[in-house]
């Protein structure tokens, strides 16, 4: 199944639904591709992937190996966040799906140039992961210095008076959760893995897909508070 993805964040004509649809139709006609359906997110920032319903539905279909090709007009329509872009590329590639970006003219992920493209992204991702680790430590360190009081202790940390300190065991589990999600595992399958291996939540309960989703959302917010973003508009 071939899907055309459209994201509209403003009222500007160049980013309207019809403008993007026209580009997708024109491209598909020239290249002999038939688009089966369009997934459209309205009025949502490219930085907020957790709030983009159609984007998340599309990625779940990719994980379920139900999509062969995704076509979008530009990288700015697909994602404006470095980590989310790299994570999505990894998932798309793993599940033998192709991503075509018209404006940037990115090569098919199934071609030698596409493989080279993903290797470059992989190198960027490796660097970004190391930088993210340092930025996360800086965020926690700065909150300690500022005397930040936490009403609820997030998973991966313990409370020392009014401050957060890393919990080494939970940090190890958290890294595993991140890696599983990056490899394309669904929230449900991750929760089942955690329960199967007797890992407990912060409150000692069993995991559910909702708990995993919320944990990764909070984790992403910490990372994104100082994460590097692409300078795309819209």
Residue 57: give its domain's CATH number: 3.40.50.1390
Does residue 99 sit in the same domain as residue 42?
Answer: yes
In a domain, 232, yes or no: no
At residue 155, the pLDDT reads 86
The dihedrals phi and psi of 90, each to the nearest 5 degrees, come to: -60, -45
At residue 129, the pLDDT reads 61
The bridge status of strand 157-160 relative to strand 2-8 is unpaired
Find all residues with CB under 8 Å of 121, minimum gap 6, and list them: 85, 86, 89
In a domain, 133, yes or no: no
Does residue 96 sit in the same domain as residue 9?
Answer: yes
In a domain, 7, yes or no: yes
Does residue 100 sit in the same domain as residue 159?
Answer: no
Does residue 186 sit in the same domain as residue 149?
Answer: yes
Domain span including residue 11: 2-110
Dist CA 206 CA 195 (whole Å): 6
Domain final residue, candidates 73, 94, 110? 110
Dist CA 223 CA 131 (whole Å): 10
Q: Are 75 and 46 in contact (CB under 8 A)?
A: no
Cβ neighbour number for residue 137 with a 10 Å cutoff:
11
Does residue 99 sit in the same domain as residue 8?
Answer: yes
Along the 234 residues of the chain, how does pLDDT read in single tens digits? 999 999 887 555 557 888 899 999 999 999 999 999 999 988 666 556 667 889 989 999 999 989 999 999 887 788 766 677 778 888 888 898 998 888 877 777 778 887 777 667 656 656 666 676 676 666 655 655 444 544 577 888 887 666 667 888 998 999 899 888 877 888 999 999 999 999 999 888 999 989 999 888 877 766 655 444 433 334
Helix axes 209-224, 187-196, angle to 10 degrees: 110
In a domain, 158, yes or no: yes
At residue 228, the pLDDT reads 41
What CATH number is given to the structural domain containing 178? 3.90.1750.20
In a domain, 151, yes or no: yes
In a domain, 117, yes or no: no
Does residue 79 sit in the same domain as residue 162?
Answer: no
Find all residues with CB under 8 Å of 99, minimum gap 6, and list them: 69, 70, 72, 78, 88, 89, 92, 106, 109
Does residue 143 sit in the same domain as residue 70?
Answer: no
In a domain, 126, yes or no: no
Does residue 53 sit in the same domain as residue 99?
Answer: yes
Helix axes 112-145, 209-224, angle to 10 degrees: 80
Strands (E), the chain: 2-8, 37-42, 69-72, 98-101, 157-160, 163-166
In a domain, 128, yes or no: no
pTM: 0.53
Dist CA 79 CA 48 (whole Å): 9
Query: How many domains in the chain?
Result: 2
What is the CA angle 149-152-155, rounded to 5?
A: 115
Does residue 158 sit in the same domain as residue 70?
Answer: no
């Amino acid at each position: 199944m071939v899907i055309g993805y459209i994201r509209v964040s403003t009222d500007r004509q160049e980013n309207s639904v019809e403008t993007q649809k026209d580009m997708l139709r024109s491209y598909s006609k020239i290249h002999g591709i038939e688009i089966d359906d369009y997934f459209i997110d309205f009025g949502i920032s490219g930085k907020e992937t957790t709030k983009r319903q159609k984007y998340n539905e599309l990625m779940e279909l990719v994980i379920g190996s139900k999509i062969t090709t995704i076509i979008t007009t530009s990288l700015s329509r697909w994602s404006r966040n470095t980590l989310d872009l790299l994570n999505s590329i990894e998932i798309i590639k793993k599940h033998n799906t192709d991503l075509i970006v018209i404006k940037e003219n990115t090569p098919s992920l199934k071609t030698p140039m596409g493989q080279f493209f993903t290797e470059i992204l992989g190198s960027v991702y490796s660097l970004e992961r190391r930088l993210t680790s340092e930025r996360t430590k800086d965020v926690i360190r700065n909150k300690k210095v500022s005397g930040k009081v936490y009403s609820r202790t997030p998973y991966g940390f313990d409370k020392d008076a009014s401050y957060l300190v890393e919990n080494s065991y939970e940090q190890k589990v958290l890294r595993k959760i991140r890696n599983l999600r990056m490899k394309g595992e669904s929230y449900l399958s991750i929760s089942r893995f955690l329960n199967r291996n007797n890992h407990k939540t912060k409150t000692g309960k069993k995991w559910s897909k909702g708990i995993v989703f919320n944990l990764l959302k909070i984790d992403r917010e910490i990372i994104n508070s100082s994460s590097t973003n692409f300078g795309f508009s819209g």
